[in-house]
Chain A
Amino acid sequence: MSVILSTGTGIAIGLLGLAMLLCAIRLVRGPSVADRVLALDTLYVNSLALLMTLGIRLAEPAFFDAALLIALLGFLATVALAKYRLQGDIID
Protein backbone atom coordinates (compact mmCIF):
# COMPACT_ATOMS: atom_id res chain seq x y z
CA MET A 1 0.00 0.00 0.00
CA SER A 2 1.63 3.16 -1.21
CA VAL A 3 1.33 6.54 0.45
CA ILE A 4 -0.74 7.91 -2.44
CA LEU A 5 -3.32 5.12 -2.19
CA SER A 6 -3.61 5.23 1.60
CA THR A 7 -4.03 9.02 1.54
CA GLY A 8 -6.59 8.87 -1.28
CA THR A 9 -8.65 6.14 0.36
CA GLY A 10 -8.47 7.96 3.70
CA ILE A 11 -9.83 11.19 2.20
CA ALA A 12 -12.50 9.29 0.26
CA ILE A 13 -13.63 7.42 3.39
CA GLY A 14 -13.91 10.70 5.29
CA LEU A 15 -15.97 12.36 2.53
CA LEU A 16 -18.25 9.35 2.18
CA GLY A 17 -18.76 9.22 5.95
CA LEU A 18 -19.81 12.87 5.88
CA ALA A 19 -22.18 12.15 2.98
CA MET A 20 -23.76 9.26 4.90
CA LEU A 21 -24.15 11.51 7.95
CA LEU A 22 -26.05 14.06 5.83
CA CYS A 23 -28.29 11.27 4.52
CA ALA A 24 -28.96 10.14 8.08
CA ILE A 25 -29.92 13.69 9.05
CA ARG A 26 -32.42 13.82 6.16
CA LEU A 27 -33.66 10.35 7.15
CA VAL A 28 -34.48 11.56 10.66
CA ARG A 29 -35.81 15.01 9.71
CA GLY A 30 -37.57 14.25 6.42
CA PRO A 31 -41.04 15.79 6.47
CA SER A 32 -42.69 13.20 4.23
CA VAL A 33 -42.34 9.47 3.80
CA ALA A 34 -40.97 9.95 0.25
CA ASP A 35 -38.13 12.04 1.72
CA ARG A 36 -37.20 9.26 4.11
CA VAL A 37 -37.27 6.62 1.39
CA LEU A 38 -35.09 8.85 -0.80
CA ALA A 39 -32.66 9.33 2.10
CA LEU A 40 -32.50 5.56 2.62
CA ASP A 41 -31.87 5.07 -1.11
CA THR A 42 -28.99 7.58 -1.08
CA LEU A 43 -27.65 6.03 2.12
CA TYR A 44 -27.29 2.59 0.55
CA VAL A 45 -25.70 3.99 -2.59
CA ASN A 46 -23.15 5.83 -0.45
CA SER A 47 -22.48 2.72 1.61
CA LEU A 48 -21.82 0.92 -1.69
CA ALA A 49 -19.08 3.44 -2.55
CA LEU A 50 -17.70 3.19 0.99
CA LEU A 51 -17.48 -0.60 0.74
CA MET A 52 -15.62 -0.42 -2.59
CA THR A 53 -13.19 2.13 -1.11
CA LEU A 54 -12.58 -0.12 1.91
CA GLY A 55 -12.00 -3.02 -0.45
CA ILE A 56 -9.28 -1.04 -2.20
CA ARG A 57 -7.71 0.10 1.08
CA LEU A 58 -7.54 -3.44 2.50
CA ALA A 59 -6.82 -5.07 -0.93
CA GLU A 60 -9.65 -7.52 -0.23
CA PRO A 61 -11.80 -8.63 -3.20
CA ALA A 62 -14.48 -10.11 -0.90
CA PHE A 63 -15.97 -6.64 -0.34
CA PHE A 64 -17.33 -6.84 -3.88
CA ASP A 65 -19.84 -9.53 -2.90
CA ALA A 66 -21.19 -7.46 -0.02
CA ALA A 67 -21.51 -4.45 -2.35
CA LEU A 68 -23.42 -6.50 -4.94
CA LEU A 69 -25.77 -7.82 -2.24
CA ILE A 70 -26.40 -4.30 -0.93
CA ALA A 71 -27.10 -3.03 -4.48
CA LEU A 72 -29.68 -5.76 -5.14
CA LEU A 73 -31.45 -5.58 -1.77
CA GLY A 74 -31.37 -1.79 -1.60
CA PHE A 75 -33.14 -1.42 -4.95
CA LEU A 76 -35.74 -4.02 -3.91
CA ALA A 77 -36.32 -2.19 -0.61
CA THR A 78 -36.79 1.16 -2.36
CA VAL A 79 -39.24 -0.29 -4.88
CA ALA A 80 -41.17 -2.15 -2.17
CA LEU A 81 -41.47 0.93 0.08
CA ALA A 82 -42.48 3.21 -2.80
CA LYS A 83 -45.10 0.75 -4.08
CA TYR A 84 -46.44 0.24 -0.56
CA ARG A 85 -46.95 3.99 -0.18
CA LEU A 86 -48.39 4.21 -3.69
CA GLN A 87 -50.89 1.34 -3.58
CA GLY A 88 -51.07 0.14 0.04
CA ASP A 89 -49.91 -3.24 -1.25
CA ILE A 90 -46.59 -4.56 -2.48
CA ILE A 91 -47.61 -7.64 -4.45
CA ASP A 92 -50.93 -7.48 -6.26
Chain B
Amino acid sequence: MHEPRDPAELLKAAAEDDHTAWDQLESRFGSRMWAVARACGLNEADAADAVQGAWLRLLENLHTIREPSGVGAWLATTTRREALLIIRKEPPGFPSFDVVHDPDPATAVLEADGRHLLWKSVSAMHEPCRTLLQLVATDMGSQQVAMRLGMPVGTVGPTRIRCLEKLRTLLSLQETVQ
Protein backbone atom coordinates (compact mmCIF):
# COMPACT_ATOMS: atom_id res chain seq x y z
CA MET B 1 0.00 0.00 0.00
CA HIS B 2 1.23 3.49 -0.87
CA GLU B 3 2.02 6.02 1.85
CA PRO B 4 -0.40 8.95 1.66
CA ARG B 5 1.24 11.81 -0.24
CA ASP B 6 2.01 14.85 1.85
CA PRO B 7 0.10 18.09 1.18
CA ALA B 8 3.10 19.92 -0.32
CA GLU B 9 3.63 17.07 -2.77
CA LEU B 10 -0.07 17.04 -3.67
CA LEU B 11 -0.09 20.80 -4.26
CA LYS B 12 2.98 20.60 -6.50
CA ALA B 13 1.45 17.73 -8.50
CA ALA B 14 -1.86 19.59 -8.86
CA ALA B 15 0.03 22.65 -10.14
CA GLU B 16 1.54 20.33 -12.74
CA ASP B 17 -1.93 19.28 -13.97
CA ASP B 18 -2.36 16.11 -11.89
CA HIS B 19 -6.11 15.82 -11.37
CA THR B 20 -5.79 12.90 -8.93
CA ALA B 21 -3.60 15.06 -6.67
CA TRP B 22 -6.32 17.73 -6.65
CA ASP B 23 -8.90 15.06 -5.77
CA GLN B 24 -6.71 13.91 -2.90
CA LEU B 25 -6.46 17.46 -1.59
CA GLU B 26 -10.26 17.55 -1.60
CA SER B 27 -10.47 14.20 0.21
CA ARG B 28 -7.98 15.41 2.79
CA PHE B 29 -9.32 18.88 3.50
CA GLY B 30 -12.90 19.12 2.13
CA SER B 31 -14.60 18.03 5.36
CA ARG B 32 -12.63 20.49 7.44
CA MET B 33 -13.49 23.35 5.05
CA TRP B 34 -17.15 22.40 5.30
CA ALA B 35 -16.94 22.44 9.10
CA VAL B 36 -15.28 25.88 9.02
CA ALA B 37 -18.05 27.31 6.83
CA ARG B 38 -20.75 25.77 9.05
CA ALA B 39 -18.98 27.02 12.18
CA CYS B 40 -19.36 30.53 10.80
CA GLY B 41 -23.12 29.99 10.90
CA LEU B 42 -23.79 29.56 7.17
CA ASN B 43 -26.69 27.49 5.88
CA GLU B 44 -25.93 24.62 3.49
CA ALA B 45 -26.25 26.68 0.28
CA ASP B 46 -23.99 29.50 1.50
CA ALA B 47 -21.51 27.05 3.06
CA ALA B 48 -21.30 25.32 -0.34
CA ASP B 49 -20.48 28.70 -1.94
CA ALA B 50 -17.80 29.46 0.67
CA VAL B 51 -16.12 26.07 0.18
CA GLN B 52 -16.30 26.36 -3.61
CA GLY B 53 -14.89 29.89 -3.37
CA ALA B 54 -11.89 28.66 -1.38
CA TRP B 55 -11.11 25.98 -4.00
CA LEU B 56 -11.35 28.59 -6.77
CA ARG B 57 -8.92 30.82 -4.81
CA LEU B 58 -6.55 27.84 -4.61
CA LEU B 59 -6.78 27.46 -8.40
CA GLU B 60 -5.86 31.14 -8.77
CA ASN B 61 -2.90 30.64 -6.43
CA LEU B 62 -1.70 27.14 -7.34
CA HIS B 63 1.80 28.38 -8.09
CA THR B 64 2.11 31.04 -5.41
CA ILE B 65 1.25 29.39 -2.07
CA ARG B 66 4.10 30.46 0.21
CA GLU B 67 4.05 27.37 2.44
CA PRO B 68 2.88 24.37 0.39
CA SER B 69 2.96 22.09 3.46
CA GLY B 70 0.41 24.41 5.09
CA VAL B 71 -2.10 24.24 2.24
CA GLY B 72 -4.70 22.66 4.57
CA ALA B 73 -4.55 25.60 6.97
CA TRP B 74 -4.56 27.98 3.98
CA LEU B 75 -7.75 26.38 2.66
CA ALA B 76 -9.43 26.54 6.10
CA THR B 77 -8.51 30.20 6.54
CA THR B 78 -9.63 31.07 3.02
CA THR B 79 -12.95 29.27 3.57
CA ARG B 80 -13.45 31.30 6.74
CA ARG B 81 -12.73 34.56 4.92
CA GLU B 82 -15.14 33.69 2.10
CA ALA B 83 -17.75 32.74 4.71
CA LEU B 84 -17.34 36.05 6.52
CA LEU B 85 -17.70 37.97 3.23
CA ILE B 86 -20.94 36.09 2.57
CA ILE B 87 -22.20 36.86 6.08
CA ARG B 88 -21.33 40.55 5.74
CA LYS B 89 -22.94 40.58 2.26
CA GLU B 90 -19.92 42.36 0.82
CA PRO B 91 -20.35 43.23 -2.85
CA PRO B 92 -18.20 41.33 -5.36
CA GLY B 93 -14.86 43.00 -5.84
CA PHE B 94 -14.68 44.09 -2.21
CA PRO B 95 -10.97 44.64 -1.49
CA SER B 96 -10.88 42.40 1.60
CA PHE B 97 -11.18 39.29 -0.50
CA ASP B 98 -7.49 39.60 -1.19
CA VAL B 99 -6.04 36.21 -0.44
CA VAL B 100 -4.26 35.85 2.87
CA HIS B 101 -1.21 33.70 3.33
CA ASP B 102 -1.17 33.44 7.09
CA PRO B 103 -3.22 30.61 8.60
CA ASP B 104 -5.85 31.65 11.11
CA PRO B 105 -5.22 30.05 14.53
CA ALA B 106 -9.00 29.84 15.13
CA THR B 107 -9.21 27.06 12.55
CA ALA B 108 -6.38 25.02 14.11
CA VAL B 109 -8.82 23.15 16.35
CA LEU B 110 -10.22 21.59 13.19
CA GLU B 111 -6.88 19.98 12.29
CA ALA B 112 -7.21 16.20 12.27
CA ASP B 113 -4.90 15.70 15.28
CA GLY B 114 -6.60 18.39 17.31
CA ARG B 115 -9.97 16.90 16.50
CA HIS B 116 -9.03 13.45 17.82
CA LEU B 117 -7.60 15.01 20.96
CA LEU B 118 -10.78 17.02 21.38
CA TRP B 119 -13.01 13.96 21.11
CA LYS B 120 -10.80 12.01 23.52
CA SER B 121 -10.97 14.88 26.00
CA VAL B 122 -14.77 14.99 25.79
CA SER B 123 -14.95 11.23 26.46
CA ALA B 124 -12.84 11.73 29.58
CA MET B 125 -15.04 14.48 31.04
CA HIS B 126 -17.43 14.01 33.98
CA GLU B 127 -21.19 14.06 33.53
CA PRO B 128 -23.21 15.92 32.49
CA CYS B 129 -20.55 17.49 30.25
CA ARG B 130 -19.52 14.26 28.54
CA THR B 131 -23.02 13.32 27.37
CA LEU B 132 -24.13 16.89 26.79
CA LEU B 133 -21.23 17.68 24.43
CA GLN B 134 -21.62 14.34 22.66
CA LEU B 135 -25.30 15.09 22.10
CA VAL B 136 -24.61 18.64 20.98
CA ALA B 137 -22.06 17.23 18.53
CA THR B 138 -24.83 15.25 16.87
CA ASP B 139 -26.82 18.47 16.42
CA MET B 140 -29.45 17.48 18.95
CA GLY B 141 -31.67 20.42 19.95
CA SER B 142 -31.84 21.82 23.49
CA GLN B 143 -35.22 20.23 24.21
CA GLN B 144 -34.04 16.74 23.31
CA VAL B 145 -30.77 17.22 25.22
CA ALA B 146 -32.80 18.31 28.28
CA MET B 147 -35.00 15.21 28.03
CA ARG B 148 -32.05 12.86 27.61
CA LEU B 149 -30.21 14.36 30.57
CA GLY B 150 -33.28 14.95 32.72
CA MET B 151 -32.55 18.64 33.17
CA PRO B 152 -34.69 21.76 32.64
CA VAL B 153 -34.49 23.12 29.07
CA GLY B 154 -33.46 26.54 30.37
CA THR B 155 -30.28 25.14 31.90
CA VAL B 156 -28.98 23.45 28.73
CA GLY B 157 -27.51 26.65 27.24
CA PRO B 158 -25.63 27.80 30.38
CA THR B 159 -24.44 24.23 31.08
CA ARG B 160 -23.16 23.95 27.52
CA ILE B 161 -21.16 27.16 27.98
CA ARG B 162 -19.70 25.86 31.26
CA CYS B 163 -18.82 22.49 29.67
CA LEU B 164 -17.10 24.16 26.73
CA GLU B 165 -15.14 26.29 29.19
CA LYS B 166 -14.06 23.14 31.06
CA LEU B 167 -13.09 21.50 27.77
CA ARG B 168 -11.02 24.53 26.85
CA THR B 169 -9.22 24.33 30.20
CA LEU B 170 -8.64 20.58 29.80
CA LEU B 171 -7.12 21.10 26.35
CA SER B 172 -4.85 23.92 27.48
CA LEU B 173 -3.64 21.73 30.39
CA GLN B 174 -2.84 18.94 27.93
CA GLU B 175 -0.94 21.39 25.73
CA THR B 176 1.06 22.48 28.77
CA VAL B 177 1.94 18.86 29.63
CA GLN B 178 3.04 18.04 26.07
A binds B: no
Using a CB–CB distance below 8 Å, which chain A residues touch chain B? Answer: none
Using a CB–CB distance below 8 Å, which chain B residues touch chain A? Answer: none
